[in-house]
Amino acid sequence: MPEASVPSYGAWHFGPDRWRHRTVTAATLAWFAVLTLVPVGALAKAALMGGWAPFRALAASPDARHAFILTILATAASVLLNGVFGLVLAVLLARYEFPGKAILDALLDMPFAISPVVAGFMLLLLLGPKGLLGHFFEAAGVHVVFAIPGIILATLFVSLPFVVREVVPVLKEVGLEQEEAAQTLGAGPWTTFRRVTFPAIRWGLAYGVSLTAARALGEFGAVLVVSGNIIGRTQTTTLFINQEFADFHFEGAYCAALVLALASMLLLLGMEAAKRFAKGTS
Amino acid sequence: MSIIIKNLSKRFGDFCAVDRVTMEVPHGALVALLGPSGSGKSTILRLIAGLEQPDEGEVFLTGEEATGLPARKRGVGFVFQHYALFKHMTVSENIAFGLEVRKVPKAEIKKRVQAMLDLIQLDSFSHHYPSQLSGGQRQRVALARALCPEPRVLLLDEPFGSLDAKVRYELRSWLRRLHDTVHVTSLFVTHDQDEAMSIADRVVLIHKGRLEQEGTPRELLEEPATPFVRDFLGMPPLDEPHW
């Protein structure tokens, strides 16, 4: 699809207001750089000071490896579950009327509004050994808190809204007409979704999923409370970084932090590139 | 009779959009559903298509009861005012959609799509996306997409409503000629009395959700049943001089 041309004031170095434009643009870019690029640069400099040796040490450390695997697991679970349920929830919110919809819509942002540490405590109280639901699980011999299920639940909770919040506006913008057209042409609900609705929202969904993954990779507070931070067992990458730092193992902390930061940035950059590619092809 | 509706009513909250409308569309005819905006004519069309469900009344399509059937099982072709083409599919893919969901063999689909492309004279645009077409071309593609699965009836909702005057005029006479070759029973919604009178075999005039008058264009012009019909068709009231 050819993109509609974006209205603009023209090339920034022409026109009577060019100096004002240049100043505003430069100031904005500088502000953005100070907030984002410079800190990443500082981290990269600190981590790369010792050459590749600290990275090799990190890769050889069983605790670090376990922490990374746990983070990947929690992220994969969030992407999968929040991707599927987020999509269903988005379709419900954008396409159907049901009692309690306004409340659901408002509550959906709760994970954004509540501090992750507080969210962690809520899960702990609910699912801990003496919690409302927790003692059922304990009776069944399933450990939720201070174990991997708790970590996954906490990560699911904090990354819940992204897919819904990205997909609902896209669904609303696409509108009902194409879906109605598919119905009159004989398509059932599933065919309509697969061939008409999904292709229209796939980039919104992909973006929501990328944000979910980035958030899940970086989750700290909720997981800290729920996991118990047991080294080599329930320690995720962010907890590992914090531990290394507290133990004065700065090199390990910097290296692990850089890996995590780069993973998140690659995710978002890859997403942006994919979006451009998609616009170029169809 | 290809389309029969009996005592059809539809309310949205307190608003009665369609009020006990009974009408018929003869087999093979091109009929206009005419009325001012907000008169309920589009709702009638959506009720016939199954995109809305009536509060009361019945719909029959080619002699079979269709009330309560979902839209996908009614076998109607529907053309939307804003085309509603699938944006991520090419012209050919759009036209083929109705046959693909019916699991028609590939070779057959290819043949039918080609026939449709010839019919709408857009053969050279078969691999274009809707965004690369003009408004008039998009509406022709929408028409071909609706006709391709050989629907029992064709329903068109303000089909020329979002086109500029010149294209509008060309396309409506093109639709009339197309109808004379394809002969599918067609009902189209319009608020433009000139459009209705010039291409329809029969006109159904709707006002405030009710059927005001039904007949051939000539009958409506010569014997308007109510002052509203006379007024809406642009004739001066009988008791006033018109200079």
Paired residues of B33 in beta bridges: B189, B204
In 3-state terms, what secondary structure has residue B3? Answer: strand
Rg of chain B's alpha carbons, rounded to an integer?
Answer: 18
Number of domains in chain A: 2
Q: Which residues on B lie below 8 Å from A184 (Cβ)? A: 49-51, 71-72, 74, 76-78, 146
* CA dist list (Å): B186 to A60, B27, B154: 74, 9, 5
B98 touching chain A per CB within 8 A:
yes
Q: Where are the beta strands (DSSP E) in chain A?
A: none
Q: Is residue A2 part of a domain?
A: no
CB contact under 8 A, B84 and A1: no
Q: Which residues on A lie below 8 Å from B129 (Cβ)? A: 1, 282
Give the model's pLDDT for residue A2.
Answer: 44
Tell whether A94 and A199 lie within a shared domain: yes
Tell whether A32 and A172 lie within a shared domain: no
Q: Are B2 and B159 in contact (CB under 8 A)?
A: no
- CA–CA dist A280, A172 (Å, integer): 24
Give the model's pLDDT for residue A12.
Answer: 58
Tell whether A44 and A55 lie within a shared domain: no
Q: Is residue A1 part of a domain?
A: no
Tell whether A255 and A154 lie within a shared domain: yes
Tell whether A57 and A146 lie within a shared domain: yes
CB contact under 8 A, A1 and B131: yes
State both tokens at B241.
Answer: 């001089």
State both tokens at B141.
Answer: 């593609």
Q: Are B74 and B50 in contact (CB under 8 A)?
A: yes
Q: Which residues on A lie below 8 Å from B71 (Cβ)? A: 180, 183-184
- CA–CA dist B145, A25 (Å, integer): 48
Give the model's pLDDT for residue B234.
Answer: 80
- CA–CA dist A173, A203 (Å, integer): 13
Of A2, A178, A186, nearest to B86 by CB-CB distance is A178
**Dihedral angle of Cα B9, B15, B17, B22, to the nearest 10 degrees:** 30
Residue carrying structure tokens 């929040």: A82
Tell whether A18 and A156 lie within a shared domain: no
CB contact under 8 A, B88 and A200: yes
- CA–CA dist A152, A144 (Å, integer): 9
Minimal Cα distance from A282: which residue of B? Answer: B88
In CATH terms, B71-191 corresponds, of 1.10.1500.10, 3.40.50.300, 3.40.47.10, 3.40.50.280, to 3.40.50.300
* CA dist list (Å): B31 to A72, B45, B199: 63, 12, 9
Q: What are the φ/ψ torsions at residue B77 (nearest 5 degrees)? A: -100, 135
Which of B52, B53, B78, B104 to probe by mutation at the A interface, max A CB count within 10 Å?
A: B78
Q: Which residues on A lie below 8 Å from B101 (Cβ)? A: 182, 185-188, 191, 195
CB contact under 8 A, A180 and B51: yes
Which residues are CB-contacts of B75 (< 8 A; sequence separation ≥ 6)? A186, B61, B149, B151, B152, B153
Query: Residue A215 is which amino acid?
Result: R
Tell whether A136 and A28 lie within a shared domain: no
DSSP-derived secondary structure letter, B237 = P
In DSSP notation, B16-35 reads: EEEEEEEEEE-TT-EEEEE-
Q: Is residue A212 part of a domain?
A: yes
Q: Is residue A156 part of a domain?
A: yes
Give the model's pLDDT for residue A3.
Answer: 46
Residue extents of the structural domains in chain B? 71-191, 192-197+211-238
- CA–CA dist A9, A15 (Å, integer): 9
Of B80, B129, B132, nearest to A177 by CB-CB distance is B80
Which of A1, A180, A184, A205 to probe by mutation at the B interface, max B CB count within 10 Å?
A: A184
Give the minimum alpha-carbon distance from B98 to chain A in angstroms, rounded to a whole number.
5
Q: How many helices (H) and strands (E) does chain B have?
A: 8, 10
ipTM of the complex model: 0.91
Residue B13: exposed, middle, or buried by beta-carbon count in 10 A (0-12, 13-18, 19+)?
Answer: exposed
**Which strand (E) or helix (H) includes residue B207?**
strand B202-207
Q: Is residue A119 part of a domain?
A: yes
Within 10 Å of residue B31's Cβ, how many Cβ atoms?
Answer: 22
pLDDT digits (tens, 9 = 90+) for A170-180: 999 999 999 99
CB contact under 8 A, A185 and B97: yes
CB contact under 8 A, B88 and A199: yes
Tell whether A120 and A22 lie within a shared domain: no
Rg of chain A's alpha carbons, rounded to an integer?
Answer: 23
Q: Which residues on B lie below 8 Å from A198 (Cβ)? A: none
In 3-state terms, what secondary structure has residue A92? Answer: helix
CB contact under 8 A, B87 and A178: yes
Of B72, B84, B88, nearest to A186 by CB-CB distance is B72
**Low-confidence residues in chain A, pLDDT < 50:** 1-4, 282
Q: Are A201 and A148 in contact (CB under 8 A)?
A: no
Tell whether A82 and A180 lie within a shared domain: yes
Give the model's pLDDT for residue B239.
Answer: 57
A21 alpha carbon, distance to own chain's centre? 34
In DSSP notation, A165-209 reads: HHHHHHHHHH-SHHHHHHHHTT--HHHHIIIIIHHHHHHHHHHHH
CB contact under 8 A, B51 and A184: yes
Q: Which residues on A lie below 8 Å from B49 (Cβ)? A: 184
Strand B202-207, strand B210-215: pairing: antiparallel
pLDDT digits (tens, 9 = 90+) for A17-56: 778 888 898 999 999 999 988 999 999 999 998 889 889 9
Length of chain A: 282
CB contact under 8 A, B145 and A181: yes
Residue B127: exposed, middle, or buried by beta-carbon count in 10 A (0-12, 13-18, 19+)?
Answer: exposed
> In which domain, by residue range, is A277 found?
51-281
CB contact under 8 A, A180 and B86: no
CB contact under 8 A, A178 and B85: yes
State the Cα angle at B242 between B239 and B243, rounded to 5°: 145
Give the model's pLDDT for residue A1.
Answer: 41
Tell whether A56 and A41 lie within a shared domain: no
Q: Which residues on B lie below 8 Å from A2 (Cβ)? A: 131-132
CB contact under 8 A, A184 and B77: yes
**Low-confidence residues in chain B, pLDDT < 70:** 1, 235-243
Which of B51, B61, B94, B150 to probe by mutation at the A interface, max A CB count within 10 Å?
A: B51
Minimal Cα distance from A198: which residue of B? Answer: B88
Residues 165-224 of B with CB under 8 A from A: none
Of B50, B70, B84, nearest to A181 by CB-CB distance is B84
CB contact under 8 A, B84 and A191: no
A22 alpha carbon, distance to own chain's centre? 34
Tell whether A218 and A90 lie within a shared domain: yes
**Dihedral angle of Cα A197, B72, B20, B230, to the nearest 10 degrees:** 70
Tell whether A158 and A268 lie within a shared domain: yes
Give the model's pLDDT for residue B241.
Answer: 53
pTM assigned to the model: 0.85
Buried b (16+ CB within 10 A) or exposed e, A170-203: bbeebeebbbbbbbbbbbeeebbbebbbebbbeb
In 3-state terms, what secondary structure has residue B47? Answer: helix
B154 touching chain A per CB within 8 A:
no
Give the model's pLDDT for residue B43.
Answer: 96
CATH number of the domain at A199, please. Answer: 1.10.3720.10
- CA–CA dist A123, A125 (Å, integer): 5
